[in-house]
Structure 1
Amino acid sequence: MQCPKCRGVMRTYERHGVHIDQCDNCRGIFLDYGELETLTRMESQWSQSHAAASPPPAHGAPAWGAPQHGGSYGHHRQRSWVGMLFST
């Protein structure tokens, strides 16, 4: 299959029952009909389960994802549910 944007080679990945087509050249992601809705539903379920599973921060402790001070080093970015689709 060819990428509709750049004509590069497309690869299909299956993650959690969703087929995701990604271009090797431009790294574009293309979904078939209904797959965006499936991903949206999965995101909602993922965020609800993580919100219920994480306890509130201790008094005086910074909340998860709160901005860190002291420069750009040591800055960690929270993984999103989309990143989890492409993890091993």
Structure 2
Amino acid sequence: MDLPEAGGHVQVGDEILELESSKAVEPLVCPVAGTVVYVNRAAADDPAVINSDPYGEGWILKIELDDDQPDLLDADEYAKLIDAAQ
């Protein structure tokens, strides 16, 4: 897994990295613009932690936002979007 470097800048829509599964390779697209502050090298060394503990040790990177109020979906809006796509 090739992660962006801390200190680098990302834009909305940038492909941060590619996630591989047994079925496909999908890009992880950045939903916000900002500066990469922290990169989880442990996740790069053991990508399985992203699936096994996504809300704990499986974080990928932390970004200091350019915009304090980015236009993002909340959990309920995201769930509705996913349900509509299926």
Q: Name the one with the larger strand percent.
A: 2
Interval of TM-score (by shorter of Structure 1 and Structure 2) = 0.3 to 0.5
Larger relative CO (CA 8 A, sep 6+): 1 or 2? 2
